[in-house]
Amino acid sequence: MKVKKNILVAPLNWGIGHATRCIPIINKLIEHNYNVIIASSGRSLDLLIKEFPKNDFIKITDYDVKYFSFLPLSFSIFLQIPKILMRIKKEKNELKKIIEDFNIDGVISDNRFGFYSKTKKSVFITHQLEIQSPYFKNLIQKINYSYINKFSQCWILDHKEPSLAGLLSNPKKETKNQKYIGPQSRFEKKEAKINYDILAIVSGPEPQRTIFENILIKELKKLNKKSLLVQGKPEINNKKTDKNLNVISHLSSEELNKAILESKLIICRSGYSTIMDLYKLEKNAILVPTPGQTEQEYLANHLSKNDSFKTQIQNRFSIEKAINQAKSFKKIKNYETKFDWRNLFEIFEK
């Protein structure tokens, strides 16, 4: 009998989007008889433990990037580049030990730049090859590619054409060994009856996550409409109701899948993992990008051009405006295609 190979999956803990988009990939690995070991930190780790309680987990050190409410997010990150580079260097040593301790045969890293190996096949997952930065864009892209090209392959979560992420995933210059594997979502489209007038999904790094949550709660309380707000906090288990508004700390993939399908209007961040989920379910949404997060700002603007989505700025968010915007939504066309996972996983068999 063929011995199962051990594949390490390591998503970045930057919001929970990197973790959620790894769920369908982990499921496919398990389906193809691989033993999956998961390494992450923070809320991403908490979420994946709940999704895969039978798997082995490794808690690894976080990037520990700080965000300041008085500075643009992109500038906050720019100031911490030396710390991030030191963390990447530390990751390389961390991975060496994990490979030895867990007899790892292959590595899949979602935006953890230090999780590549010279002795084991290593894959980098991303949708963002052309980073949208207001500062030193060419230099940042050069650094980005220098790390990505150290991996055996780069799996891009999009189609080459038609592209969902626009310039982010389709830059003029390609990386080495890149493969487009299509948008990936943990959700399934099913028939559902409407149960909520409004579903608000909060996610992303602090302090902006909490700021966005407080704005939404204040706005939703103005309406006499049945609303659900999901806080995106898998590390706790809280639920409360205030008249028409239900607030819950976290929903499992199956529960959130159901809630999205059962909602008339969805309000959420414009993170790419969320966008992939909405496309899979063919659900429109009002997108509110995290202030200063240039990738989300680009995606919100890019996707709102064809009226499948609408966008608002966080500090000027209005629920009344959102309801009016939703009246002119156009139907989403899902570009999902069947994918040969066995062929993709051949990299771990060589």
Asked whether the beta carbons of 88 and 113 are under 8 A apart, the reply is: yes
* 121/113 Cα distance (integer angstroms): 14
Token pair 């953890």: residue: 112
* CA nearest to 185, candidates 264, 287, 274, 263: 274
* 278/301 Cα distance (integer angstroms): 16
- Helical (H) or strand (E) element with 125: strand 121-126
* 216/94 Cα distance (integer angstroms): 40
Could you tell me the CA-to-CA distances from 183 to 15, 175, 313, 332 in Å, in that order?
19, 18, 26, 14
Residue 195 has a pLDDT of: 97
Give the SS3 label for residue 304. Answer: helix
* 57/41 Cα distance (integer angstroms): 10
Is the dihedral angle over the CA atoms 172, 174, 180, 182 positive or is it negative? negative
Residue 335 has a pLDDT of: 65
Helical segments of the chain, H only: 17-20, 23-31, 42-51, 73-79, 81-102, 137-148, 208-220, 253-261, 272-281, 294-303, 319-325, 341-344
Amino acid at 182: G
* CA nearest to 293, candidates 71, 60, 56: 71
* 197/246 Cα distance (integer angstroms): 12
* 129/172 Cα distance (integer angstroms): 10
Residue 69 has a pLDDT of: 59
pTM over 0.85: yes
* CA nearest to 350, candidates 200, 177, 152, 173: 152
Per-residue pLDDT of the chain in tens (350 residues, 90 and over written 9): 567 999 999 999 987 899 999 999 999 999 999 999 999 999 999 999 999 999 999 999 887 666 665 555 666 666 767 778 888 888 999 999 999 999 999 999 999 999 999 999 999 999 999 887 766 777 778 888 999 999 999 999 999 888 999 999 998 888 889 999 999 999 999 999 999 999 999 988 888 899 999 999 999 999 999 999 999 999 889 999 988 999 999 999 999 999 999 999 999 999 999 999 999 999 999 999 998 888 999 999 999 998 899 999 999 999 999 999 999 999 997 766 678 899 999 999 98
Residue 300 has a pLDDT of: 97
* 51/55 Cα distance (integer angstroms): 9
* 35/106 Cα distance (integer angstroms): 11
Query: Residue length, the chain?
Result: 350
Report DSSP state, residue 328. Answer: G
In sequence order, the β-bridge partners of residue 36 are 7
* CA nearest to 287, candidates 263, 304, 305: 304
* 43/232 Cα distance (integer angstroms): 9
Give me the domains of the chain, ranges plus CATH numbers. Answer: 6-183+338-349 (3.40.50.2000), 196-328 (3.40.50.2000)
Could you tell me the CA-to-CA distances from 201 to 10, 20, 236, 322, 325 in Å, in that order?
24, 14, 16, 14, 18
Residue 34 has a pLDDT of: 97
* CA nearest to 48, candidates 40, 280, 206: 40
CA atoms within 13 A on the CB side of 118: 2
Enter the tokens of residue 78.
């720019």
Report DSSP state, residue 177. Answer: T
Residue 172 has a pLDDT of: 84
